[in-house]
Amino acid sequence: MNSLLTDPTEFAGLLQNFFVDRLLQQKNVSPQTIKAYRDTFRLLLNYAERQKGKPPTKLDSGDTYETL
């Protein structure tokens, strides 16, 4: 399986790149859009943490697919 899907540090890097590269540099979105995406990911990760009993840093894609 792809390490991006199983290694939480890879997912964190991907998420950071999404915010920095895609939203800020490529799309030049507003600060309000960035905040909306940030808040959405926080809600998703908090929900997954409650459902699986693991902090977001320990979640992998299998956890989120089973939960959601």
Q: What is the pLDDT of residue 27?
A: 87
Q: What is the DSSP string of 24-65?
A: IIIS---HHHHHHHHHHHHHHHHHHHHHHTS-GGG--HHHHH
Q: What's the rounded Cα separation, in Å, for the pair 47 and 38? A: 14
Is the full-model pTM beyond 0.95? Answer: no
Q: What is the pLDDT of residues 22-64, one digit of tens each?
A: 888 888 899 899 899 989 989 988 988 898 888 888 777 666 5
Higher pLDDT residue, 1 or 31? 31
Higher pLDDT residue, 9 or 68? 9
59, 68 contact by CB (below 8 A): no
Q: What is the pLDDT of residue 39?
A: 94
